[in-house]
């Protein structure tokens, strides 16, 4: 990718056009990094070195903080849909076996009304995922461009003029310059970059693996499709090994932090909003049960078990006196 070091190849052809479109995002990214970097130097960190690495990490955190609210909203919507399930089934049963256009129409209308009244909608958006793609592309572009800005081969981009870019290009992490690529590195750098690629792929794999093990309903944990999914958990990390070899070290730092953040977020998601029927959901049920009992204990109320026992005892006593037969309702005597 980078054999001709005199020219910035990402500015050519279709990709050049696409990156031109994304310029506002790129500009914003450079500003965020530059501002955080200024803040760090203000605290007394050297302008060249770790401060730039921390700025990259800070950028990842900013991006994730922007996505998180959408993410949470989406999970809330999913939960609402689950809660609406009984009512939806009620409506669907009402129109069971009716295949004419008017009934179908009426059913869709009623379902829509139900969603609207409860502020839930089945058409969840894939916006968070759609955002992450271009954001990562911009990041890749900016971090790749810096090298060339520093050399004066490319026009300045946002907050990165030639001098700033030079500072950035001179920075290093674990003794490796952050513009180095695996292909053009010495042995020490190759080892460090290799470790970063391995960690990055590992976190990606771990996230998918954990998701599959913990957050899939037990019913779907078998069969052809499940095995396909299992194979897929290996495919993406392995694909990323090859692209990782071509990326500057700075991009790898961004990517590793990003994957760690993704992993933490999915851990949290599986803990708080597990898919119903999955092992994580079973654990959550036990946890919620314990929590409820603890709350009742503090409030001095009988625990869930005691309440159940009391109910069973009452039922038994009632059976003793009234017999096992359910009593038929009696008609009131007419006056």
Partner 1 sequence: MASATQAAVRAIHWYQKNISANTPAKCRYYPTCSNYALEAIERFGILRGGVLAMLRLLRCRPWSRGGIDDVPQRFSLFYRYSWSKAHEEPRLTPLASHTKEMA
Strand, helix or coil for residue 243: helix
In the complex with partner 1, which residue's Cβ is closer, 32 or 107? 107
Distances in Å between the Cα of 26 and the Cα atoms of 61, 144, 188, 250, 303 are 16, 12, 31, 15, 57
Q: Which of residues 25-84 bind partner 1 (CB under 8 A)?
A: 70, 73
Please identify, among the stretches 80-88, 119-127, 158-166, 221-229, the one whose residues bind partner 1 according to the rule CB under 8 A. Answer: 119-127
Q: Are 215 and 270 in contact (CB under 8 A)?
A: yes
**Alpha carbon distance 123, 126 (integer Å):** 9
CB atoms within 10 A of CB 292: 13
In the complex with partner 1, which residue's Cβ is closer, 113 or 295? 113
Q: What contacts 23, CB < 8 A, 6 or more positions away?
A: none
In the complex with partner 1, which residue's Cβ is closer, 5 or 125? 125
User: Does residue 227 bind partner 1 (CB under 8 A)?
Assistant: no
Nearest to 240 by CA among 179, 207, 198, 281: 198
Helix pair 127-151, 50-94: axis angle to 10 deg? 160
Nearest to 250 by CA among 187, 163, 192: 192
**Alpha carbon distance 218, 221 (integer Å):** 5
Distances in Å between the Cα of 134 and the Cα atoms of 23, 128, 140, 268 are 11, 11, 10, 25
Please identify, among the stretches 50-58, 117-125, 175-183, 320-328, the one whose residues bind partner 1 according to the rule CB under 8 A. Answer: 117-125
In the complex with partner 1, which residue's Cβ is closer, 49 or 128? 128
User: Does residue 108 bind partner 1 (CB under 8 A)?
Assistant: yes
User: Does residue 122 bind partner 1 (CB under 8 A)?
Assistant: yes
User: Among residues 99, 101, 187, 225, which is the contact residue for partner 1, using CB under 8 A?
Assistant: 101
CA-based end-to-end distance of the chain: 98
**Alpha carbon distance 96, 98 (integer Å):** 6
In the complex with partner 1, which residue's Cβ is closer, 111 or 221? 111
CB of 112 to partner 1, least distance (A): 4
User: Does residue 129 bind partner 1 (CB under 8 A)?
Assistant: no
The count of residues interacting with partner 1 (CB under 8 A) is 19
User: Among residues 105, 292, 315, 322, which is the contact residue for partner 1, using CB under 8 A?
Assistant: 105
Q: Are 36 and 58 in contact (CB under 8 A)?
A: yes
User: Does residue 116 bind partner 1 (CB under 8 A)?
Assistant: yes
CA dihedral for 66, 41, 148, 240, sign (positive or negative) = negative
Strand, helix or coil for residue 326: coil
In the complex with partner 1, which residue's Cβ is closer, 104 or 227? 104
User: Among residues 109, 287, 291, 313, which is the contact residue for partner 1, using CB under 8 A?
Assistant: 109
In the complex with partner 1, which residue's Cβ is closer, 42 or 123? 123
Please identify, among the stretches 104-112, 174-182, 215-223, 314-322, the one whose residues bind partner 1 according to the rule CB under 8 A. Answer: 104-112
CB of 122 to partner 1, least distance (A): 7
User: Among residues 4, 6, 96, 123, which is the contact residue for partner 1, using CB under 8 A?
Assistant: 123
CB of 105 to partner 1, least distance (A): 6
User: Among residues 11, 47, 87, 110, which is the contact residue for partner 1, using CB under 8 A?
Assistant: 110
In the complex with partner 1, which residue's Cβ is closer, 70 or 191? 70
CB of 114 to partner 1, least distance (A): 9
Buried b (16+ CB within 10 A) or exposed e, 167-186: bbbebbbeebbbbbbbeebe
Task: Please provide residue 177's backbone torsions phi and psi, each rounded to the nearest 5 degrees.
Answer: -65, 135
- Footprint of partner 1 (CB under 8 A): 70, 73, 101-102, 105-106, 108-110, 112-113, 115-116, 119, 121-123, 125, 127
């Amino acid at each position: 990718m980078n054999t001709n070091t005199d020219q910035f190849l990402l500015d050519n052809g279709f990709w050049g056009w696409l990156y031109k479109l994304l310029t506002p995002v790129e500009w914003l990214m450079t500003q965020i990094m530059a501002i955080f970097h200024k803040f760090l130097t203000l605290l007394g960190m050297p302008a060249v070195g770790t401060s730039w690495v921390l700025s990259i990490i800070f950028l990842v955190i900013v991006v994730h903080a922007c996505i998180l609210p959408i993410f949470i909203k989406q999970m809330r919507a999913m939960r609402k849909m689950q809660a609406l399930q009984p009512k939806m089934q009620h409506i669907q049963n009402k129109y069971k076996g009716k295949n004419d256009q008017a009934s179908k129409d009426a059913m869709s209308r009623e379902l829509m009304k139900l969603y609207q009244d409860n502020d839930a909608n089945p058409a969840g958006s894939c916006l968070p995922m759609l955002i992450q793609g271009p954001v990562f592309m911009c990041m890749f572009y900016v971090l790749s461009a810096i090298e060339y800005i520093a050399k004066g081969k490319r026009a300045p981009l946002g907050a990165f003029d030639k001098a700033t870019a030079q500072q950035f290009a001179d920075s290093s992490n674990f003794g490796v310059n952050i513009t180095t690529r695996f292909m053009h590195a010495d042995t020490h750098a190759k080892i460090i970059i290799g470790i970063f690629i391995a960690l990055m792929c590992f976190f990606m794999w771990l996230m998918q693996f954990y998701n599959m093990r913990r957050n899939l309903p037990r019913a779907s944990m078998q069969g052809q499709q499940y095995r396909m999914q299992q194979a897929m958990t290996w495919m993406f990390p392995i694909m990323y090994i090859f692209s990782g070899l071509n990326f500057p070290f700075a991009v790898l730092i961004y990517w590793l932090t990003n994957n760690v953040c993704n992993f933490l977020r999915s851990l949290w998601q599986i803990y708080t909003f597990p898919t119903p029927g999955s092992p994580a959901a079973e654990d959550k049920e036990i946890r919620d049960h314990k929590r409820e009992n603890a709350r009742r204990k503090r409030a001095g109320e009988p625990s869930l078990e005691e309440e159940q026992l009391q109910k069973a005892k009452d039922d038994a006593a009632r059976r003793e006196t009234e017999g096992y037969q359910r009593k038929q309702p009696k008609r009131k005597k007419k006056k």
